[in-house]
Structure 1
Amino acid sequence: MTRWFAGLLCAGIALSALAHADSPDDRFKALYSKEWSWRQQQFGGVDDEDHESNPHDDHLPDVGATAQNARLAYWNDVLKQLDAIPAKELSAENRVNLAVYRPQIENLAADIRFRGYEMPFNSDSQFWSDLGFMTRRPLKDAQTARNYIAKLGDVPRYFDQQTANMRAGLKRGFSVPRAVLDGRDVSIASYAEVKSPENSEFYAPLKKLPSTIPADEQAKLRADATRAIRERVIPAYAKLLKFFREDYVPHARKTLAAEALPDGKTYYRQQIKEYTTLDLDPEAIHQIGLNEVARIDAQMQATMKETGFKGDFPAFLLFLRTDPQFYAKTPDELLMRASWIAKQVDAKLGQFFGLLPRGRFGIEPVPAAIAPFWTAGRGGAHTYWVNTYDLPSRPLYNLPALTLHESAPGHALQGELSEEHKDLPDFRSKSYISAYGEGWALYCEKLGKEMGVYHTPYEEFGRETYEMWRAARLVIDTGIHHKGWTREQAIQYLASHAALSQHEVETEVDRYISWPGQALSYKLGEIRIVELRAHAEKELGPKFDLRAFHDAVLAEGSVPLPLLEQRVDAWIAARKAKG
Structure 2
Amino acid sequence: MKNILFKSILIFVLAMLFSACKKSDSPLTKVTPVELDSIAANYYEQYLKIYPLEATAQGDLRYNDQLPINIDKDFISGEISFYNSVQNQLKKIDYKSLSDDQKTVYDVLDYTLQDKIERYAYHPEYIPFTQFSGLPLDFPLLGSGEGSQPFKTEKDYDDWLKRAEKFPEWMDTAIENFREGMKVNYVLPKKLVLKMIPQMKAKEITTNDYTQNIFYGPINNIPQKFSVQQKEKYTVLYKDMIAKKIIPSYTKMANFLETEYLPKSRESDGINALPKGDGIYKYYVKSWTTTTKTPEEINKIGLEQVAMLRKEMEKVKQQLGFNGTLEQFINHMKEDPKAMPYQTNKEILDAFNGILKKITPNLKTMFSVTPKTPFEIRQTEKFREASASAEYIVGTPDGKRPGIFYIPLPDPKKFNITSGMESLFLHEAIPGHHYQISLQQENTKLPKFMRFGWFGAYGEGWAHYCETLGPEFGLYTDPYQKMGYLSDQMLRAVRLVVDTEIHTGKMTREQAIQYFMNNIAYDDAGATAEVERYMAVPGQALAYKIGALRIRELRDQYQKQLGSKFSLAKFHDEVLNQGCLPLDVLGRKMENWAKKQ
User: Whole-Å Cα distance in 1 between the matches of residues 261 and 205 of structure 2?
Assistant: 17
2:77 maps to 1:69: yes
Q: Does the aligned pair in 1 maintain the 2:461–2:551 contact within 8 Å?
A: yes
Q: 1:438 aligns with which of 460, 471, 475?
A: 460
2:300 maps to 1:300: no
Q: Which residue of 1 aligns with 2:398?
A: none
Q: Which residue of 2 aligns with 1:476?
A: 498
Closer/same/farther in 2, CA of residues 107 and 133 from structure 1, 3 Å limit: farther
Q: Does the aligned pair in 1 maintain the 2:21–2:39 contact within 8 Å?
A: no
| Partner-residue secondary structure (3-state), 1:24 | coil
Letter in 2 for 1:277: T
Aligned positions of 1:12-91 closer than 5 A: 12-21=14-23, 23-25=30-32, 26-45=34-53, 52=59, 55-63=62-70, 64-91=72-99
2:180 maps to 1:168: yes
Q: Does the aligned pair in 1 maintain the 2:534–2:541 contact within 8 Å?
A: yes
User: Whole-Å Cα distance in 1 between the matches of residues 237 and 417 of structure 2?
Assistant: 45
Q: Which residue of 1 aligns with 2:389?
A: 375
Letter in 1 for 2:293: L
Stretch moving more, 24-33 or 471-480: 24-33
Letter in 1 for 2:36: F
| TM score, norm. by length of structure 1 | 0.95
2:135 maps to 1:127: yes
Give the C-alpha shift of residue 28 in structure 1: 3.2
2:228 maps to 1:215: yes
Q: Which residue of 2 aligns with 1:417?
A: 439
Give the C-alpha shift of residue 543 in structure 1: 2.0
Q: Which residue of 1 aligns with 2:358?
A: 344
| Partner-residue secondary structure (3-state), 1:364 | strand
Q: Which residue of 2 aligns with 1:243?
A: 256
Q: Does the aligned pair in 1 maintain the 2:288–2:543 contact within 8 Å?
A: yes
2:403 maps to 1:396: no
Q: Deviations over 1:155-184 (max 9, x none)?
A: 211211122112212222222211333233
Stretch moving more, 281-290 or 376-385: 376-385
Q: Deviations over 1:45-85 (max 9, x none)?
A: 4688x785663110212221111111112212222322222
Q: Does the aligned pair in 2 maintain the 1:178–1:253 contact within 8 Å?
A: yes
Aligned positions of 1:144-293 closer than 5 A: 144-190=156-202, 191-293=204-306
Q: Which residue of 2 aligns with 1:520?
A: 542
Letter in 2 for 1:116: P
| TM score, norm. by length of structure 2 | 0.92
Q: 1:118 aligns with which of 123, 126, 135?
A: 126
Q: Which residue of 2 aligns with 1:320?
A: 333
Stretch moving more, 442-451 or 393-402: 393-402
User: Whole-Å Cα distance in 2 between the matches of residues 514 and 565 of structure 1?
Assistant: 30
Q: Deviations over 1:65-122 (max 9, x none)?
A: 1111111122122223222222222233221111211111122222222221221223
| Partner-residue secondary structure (3-state), 2:553 | helix
Letter in 2 for 1:516: P
User: Whole-Å Cα distance in 1 between the matches of residues 244 and 509 of structure 2?
Assistant: 41
Q: Which residue of 2 aligns with 1:8?
A: 10
Closer/same/farther in 2, CA of residues 285 and 150 from structure 1, 3 Å limit: same
Letter in 2 for 1:291: E
User: Whole-Å Cα distance in 2 between the matches of residues 125 and 377 of structure 1?
Assistant: 13
Output the aligned Cα RMSD. 2.0
Unaligned runs of 5+ in 1: none
2:406 maps to 1:385: yes
User: Whole-Å Cα distance in 2 between the matches of residues 51 and 368 of structure 1?
Assistant: 25
User: Whole-Å Cα distance in 1 between the matches of residues 360 and 123 of structure 2?
Assistant: 43
Q: Which residue of 1 aligns with 2:400?
A: none
Q: Does the aligned pair in 1 maintain the 2:20–2:38 contact within 8 Å?
A: yes
Q: Does the aligned pair in 2 maintain the 1:46–1:54 contact within 8 Å?
A: no
Q: 1:554 aligns with which of 561, 570, 576?
A: 576
User: Whole-Å Cα distance in 1 between the matches of residues 355 and 431 of structure 2?
Assistant: 12
Q: Does the aligned pair in 1 maintain the 2:55–2:63 contact within 8 Å?
A: no
Closer/same/farther in 2, CA of residues 47 and 442 from structure 1, 3 Å limit: same
Letter in 2 for 1:208: N
Q: Does the aligned pair in 2 maintain the 1:45–1:58 contact within 8 Å?
A: no
Q: Does the aligned pair in 2 maintain the 1:375–1:387 contact within 8 Å?
A: yes
Q: Deviations over 1:513-544 (max 9, x none)?
A: 12110000000001001111101110111222
Name segments (4+ residues, structure 1) moved above 6 Å: none
Q: Does the aligned pair in 1 maintain the 2:140–2:205 contact within 8 Å?
A: no
Stretch moving more, 525-534 or 187-196: 187-196
Q: Which residue of 2 aligns with 1:499?
A: 521
Closer/same/farther in 2, CA of residues 424 and 273 from structure 1, 3 Å limit: same
User: Whole-Å Cα distance in 2 between the matches of residues 483 and 185 of structure 1?
Assistant: 26
Give the C-alpha shift of residue 421 in structure 1: 0.8
User: Whole-Å Cα distance in 1 between the matches of residues 61 and 538 of structure 2?
Assistant: 27
Closer/same/farther in 2, CA of residues 393 and 170 from structure 1, 3 Å limit: farther
2:530 maps to 1:508: yes
Q: Which residue of 1 aligns with 2:376?
A: 362
Q: Does the aligned pair in 2 maintain the 1:40–1:54 contact within 8 Å?
A: no
Letter in 2 for 1:181: V
| Partner-residue secondary structure (3-state), 2:405 | strand
Give the C-alpha shift of residue 222 in structure 1: 2.3
Closer/same/farther in 2, CA of residues 462 and 422 from structure 1, 3 Å limit: same
Stretch moving more, 492-501 or 214-223: 214-223
User: Whole-Å Cα distance in 1 between the matches of residues 380 and 7 of structure 2?
Assistant: 40
Q: Deviations over 1:195-227 (max 9, x none)?
A: 322321111122223344333223212221111
User: Whole-Å Cα distance in 2 between the matches of residues 280 and 69 of structure 1?
Assistant: 30
User: Whole-Å Cα distance in 1 between the matches of residues 427 and 552 of structure 2?
Assistant: 15
User: Whole-Å Cα distance in 2 between the matches of residues 236 and 68 of structure 1?
Assistant: 23
Give the C-alpha shift of residue 390 in structure 1: 3.8
Letter in 2 for 1:9: I
Give the C-alpha shift of residue 379 in structure 1: 5.0
User: Whole-Å Cα distance in 1 between the matches of residues 135 and 58 of structure 2?
Assistant: 15
2:589 maps to 1:564: no
Closer/same/farther in 2, CA of residues 47 and 118 from structure 1, 3 Å limit: farther
Q: Does the aligned pair in 1 maintain the 2:285–2:539 contact within 8 Å?
A: yes
User: Whole-Å Cα distance in 2 between the matches of residues 78 and 226 of structure 1?
Assistant: 44
